[in-house]
Structure 1
């Protein structure tokens, strides 16, 4: 989710500056690659890159392709074949062996359900979601439908599409099983591929303890995109200014903590107050 949130911020900034942007998404991988399906990168017309689709090897070429997609206002599917020993075929030394399909979608800000709108709907709540992206491996020169549907536990978002009912059923299965899948459908006698992607909310890290060793831990969690909450019963330690700006700091007794936070199956607790009695009192509540 961190990459998605960073992309949303970068898009909003580009929009304020009046810049066009495009979203590059790894939609299919055969073999090995640095990033897997679902990796995303926002590209602005001035060349700013947010997120990544590889270890740094594909981004330059993806930028050039994205500028073309923005100029044509047409999504395109780009294939990077790193199995080829002759890296000159794409002019890059990639160091991996796989075939990587990257969908590049110019973002039309006037379109009600453009890909960024769907990402924003997903990020607006702490919830699981399934994002459906359509493309054609059979005919890469055909019009690529792109990111079309978002299903969350409480509703779905997206443009009307002839395959919507079938996609919804398959997306509901993915939401239930929490496992991304690829599907091929037949649309107007031609095959269309779907990456039905399960996206989970960020890990919520509840750290019981606000000692000095928690400070670097919170920084690491922030890099990972985890949502940190720090809890301590000592007012001299439980001070927000000691930690990363994005984290929450609570001054609480063990018996009151669970009434102040929300817990789900993506929540992790760490007991590290270095105060044996506090940790011992907290543990039965957990």
Structure 2
């Protein structure tokens, strides 16, 4: 799920937290910088893992929201002999997750970012960690449009991290303190209010039961083992940044690409649904009011009117994707004539190559024409055809293959894959 969507959801969820993978090492399901939202009611939007981490993150939501403080959570799934992670989790990497309550400065920042993304501009969110990573400040800025991919890009600043020795392997609310003697003492993080607007994270040792001789005992296996008081480091030795994070992290986000579908027939419904799931901001435009309803197209922007009426409203830009699915030859020809001088990223035309050649006959060559629209996967019926279209949109979005079409000098369309007909997607 894109940050564009998460900002929208955060605006309506009063008690939710933002979880961000701020460091990833080794093999992992998602890339560094990806975020998700978790609500106190148990709703999850987006993902950081295939599902192996989310239940643990969900268990922390109430605590983070009640304290209004951030937390770092480490999931080290690299050791193969660790029965709790290594052999049961397929990822096998290290993931450090930052949990932030969506309130105060962060809520206001996400709202401004949403307005920026809605306008079609990219944005950057900068987190500045202070006081040895116990406080964080937020800053966002508009960075204009970008031609890069739509995955969040997490970029550390040139500000170096604090030069401190990490005595602790911080794992969410529990910290295992490894001493030179090989003994381990469990500690828990406690979150203390430092400022109304800036979250603060501190470490407070857990009270460990004393043995008869005054020493403390616990090991990972539960076996009793004596630990001298002199072996236990003071709280001043604790590092809240054992992962060598930079003091500043900047996440860049691009707006969701807009898909404009001309036509509101029944075959458009699955295309709109799948395109939304694939990360597109979907607009359905048609002149038939009875078909252009929110009941038929939930969570979709609807534009009512003929091509000459809707084109000034749509204001097509070079990042937009368009598909003609009205099955009305005169209206689609009218719209294509208006696209001659427009910049766009993709133009899909439903129908056979012969029909498309007739539509384009006499027009100057148009760029990025995909006809028949959709990848050739042997699709049959509206649902499967919608899948082929969504697949082509995703491929073009991520530029994983050269799918652009070229228009011949005589108006014929040479499809870049196999020139499949409308009935053989």
TM-score using structure 1 length: 0.72
Contact 1:57–1:93 (8 Å) recurs in 2: no
Match of 1:219 among 273, 277, 294: 273
Q: What residue in structure 2 maps to residue 183 of structure 1?
A: 157
| Structure with greater strand share of residues | 1
Q: Is the alpha carbon distance of 1:145 and 1:254 closer, same or farther for their aligned partners in structure 2, counting shifts above 3 Å?
A: same
What is the SS of the residue equivalent to 2:261?
Answer: strand
* Alpha-carbon distance, 1:69 to partner: 4.1
Contact 1:207–1:270 (8 Å) recurs in 2: yes
- The answer to whether structure 1 residue 150 and structure 2 residue 140 are counterparts is yes
CA deviation map 1:121-175 (0-9, x unaligned):
1112423110113459xxxx94344461111159xxxxxxxxxxxxxxxxxxxx8
Cα distance in 1 between the residues matched to 2:298 and 2:254: 23
- The answer to whether structure 1 residue 128 and structure 2 residue 102 are counterparts is no
Report the number of matched residues.
249
Cα distance in 2 between the residues matched to 1:9 and 1:91: 37
Q: What residue in structure 2 maps to residue 31 of structure 1?
A: 26
CA deviation map 1:28-53 (0-9, x unaligned):
22233222233323344555444332
CA deviation map 1:46-79 (0-9, x unaligned):
5544433222111122234444545655422222
List aligned pairs for 1:3-152, cutoff 5 A: 3-10=6-13, 12=14, 14=15, 21-45=16-40, 47-70=42-65, 73-90=68-85, 93-107=88-102, 109=103, 111=104, 113=105, 115-125=106-116, 126=118, 127-134=121-128, 142-146=132-136, 148-152=138-142
Contact 2:6–2:37 (8 Å) recurs in 1: no
Cα distance in 2 between the residues matched to 1:70 and 1:37: 24
Q: Is the alpha carbon distance of 1:73 and 1:184 closer, same or farther for their aligned partners in structure 2, counting shifts above 3 Å?
A: farther
What is the SS of the residue equivalent to 2:284?
Answer: strand
* Alpha-carbon distance, 1:94 to partner: 2.1
Contact 1:229–1:249 (8 Å) recurs in 2: yes
Q: What residue in structure 1 maps to residue 255 of structure 2?
A: 201
- The answer to whether structure 1 residue 270 and structure 2 residue 323 are counterparts is yes
Cα distance in 2 between the residues matched to 1:135 and 1:90: 29
Contact 2:86–2:92 (8 Å) recurs in 1: no
Q: What residue in structure 2 maps to residue 17 of structure 1?
A: none
Cα distance in 2 between the residues matched to 1:87 and 1:188: 30
Cα distance in 1 between the residues matched to 2:9 and 2:23: 22
Greater gyration radius: 2
What is the SS of the residue equivalent to 2:157?
Answer: strand
Which deviates the most, 188-197 or 244-253?
A: 188-197
Q: What residue in structure 2 maps to residue 284 of structure 1?
A: 337
Greater RCO (Cα-Cα under 8 Å, separation 6 or more): 1
What is the SS of the residue equivalent to 2:160?
Answer: strand
| Structure with greater helix share of residues | 1
Cα distance in 2 between the residues matched to 1:80 and 1:188: 22
CA deviation map 1:188-216 (0-9, x unaligned):
76775133111111221110122211011
Which deviates the most, 26-35 or 213-222?
A: 26-35
Q: Is the alpha carbon distance of 1:102 and 1:70 closer, same or farther for their aligned partners in structure 2, counting shifts above 3 Å?
A: same
Which deviates the most, 179-188 or 22-31?
A: 179-188
Q: Is the alpha carbon distance of 1:279 and 1:35 closer, same or farther for their aligned partners in structure 2, counting shifts above 3 Å?
A: same
Contact 1:24–1:42 (8 Å) recurs in 2: yes
